């Protein structure tokens, strides 16, 4: 699961990122640079979630969920701060960076949802024992 979802989500995100950068290039170099940086930041932050989940998969489930939520909140805050900083950098169009980051985030979310939906994960209940007899 931790490798399947990024493999399925990354190609459409990269396509949107490159298309957005190409479209922004029509408006000039600062817009293209902004779209390139904004899309790259969003893609890196979203893909890093699955790296974290690979590390946390052997930790107790309640602890791993709490850690994943805290790290997600941290990543969203850092991404928003980076976009705000990019807005004020000379030579980089902050609006293009924000649009590219938003587009990559929406596409990543949709692709990840589709990938999760297509995964065939076994579901079972351990509370009743192996055979379920005697319940």
Tokens of 6: 């990024």
The mean pLDDT value for 54-67 works out to 78
Question: Which residues are CB-neighbours of 53 under 8 A, at least 6 positions away?
Answer: 2, 64, 68
The structural domains of the chain, with segments of one domain joined by +, span: 4-118
Q: How confident is the model at residue 95 (pLDDT cuts 50, 70, 90)?
A: confident
In this structure, are residues 80 and 69 in contact, taking their beta carbons and an 8 Å threshold? no
Q: How confident is the model at residue 102 (pLDDT cuts 50, 70, 90)?
A: very high
Nearest to 6 by CA among 120, 132, 108: 108
pLDDT tens for each residue of 15-31:
999 999 999 999 999 99
Output phi, psi for 50, to 5 deg. -75, -25
Statement: residue 103 has pLDDT above 70: yes
- How far apart (Å, rounded) are the C-alpha atoms in residues 68 and 85? 25
What DSSP element (H or E) covers 78?
helix 61-88
Nearest to 8 by CA among 121, 116, 120: 116
């Amino acid at each position: 699961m931790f490798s399947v979802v990024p493999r399925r989500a990354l190609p459409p995100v990269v396509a949107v990122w490159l298309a957005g950068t190409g479209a922004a290039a029509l408006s000039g170099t600062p817009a293209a640079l902004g779209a390139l940086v904004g899309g790259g930041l969003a893609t890196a932050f979203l893909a890093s979630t699955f790296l974290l989940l690979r590390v946390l998969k052997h930790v107790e489930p309640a602890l791993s969920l709490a850690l994943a939520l805290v790290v997600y909140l941290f990543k969203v805050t850092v991404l928003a701060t980076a976009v705000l900083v990019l807005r004020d950098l000379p030579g980089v169009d902050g609006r293009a960076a924000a649009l590219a980051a938003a587009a990559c985030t929406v596409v990543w979310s949709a692709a990840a949802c589709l990938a999760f939906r297509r995964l065939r994960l076994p579901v079972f209940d351990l509370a009743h024992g192996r055979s379920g007899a005697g319940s």
